[in-house]
Amino acid sequence: MPRGASLVAVLVLAAAAAGAEEPDPARQAELLHMLRQDCGSCHGMRLSGGLGPPLSPQALAGKDREALVAIVLDGVPGRPMPPWRPYLSEGEAFWLVDRLREGLR
Among 23, 52, 74, 89, binds ligand HEC (CB under 6 A): 52
Q: How many residues bind ligand HEC (CB under 6 A)?
A: 23
DSSP code string of 11-73:
HHHHHHHTT-PPPPHHHHHHHHHHIIIIIHHHH-TTSS-SSSPP-SHHHHTTS-HHHHHHHHH
Query: Binding to ligand HEC by residue 38, rule CB under 6 A?
Result: yes
DSSP code string of 63-84:
S-HHHHHHHHHH--TTSS----
Question: Per-residue x/- mask for ligand HEC, residues 61 to 90, rule CB under 6 A?
Answer: --x----x--xx---x--xxxx-x------
Residues within the interface to ligand HEC (CB under 6 A): 34, 38-39, 41-43, 51-53, 55, 59-60, 63, 68, 71-72, 76, 79-82, 84, 96
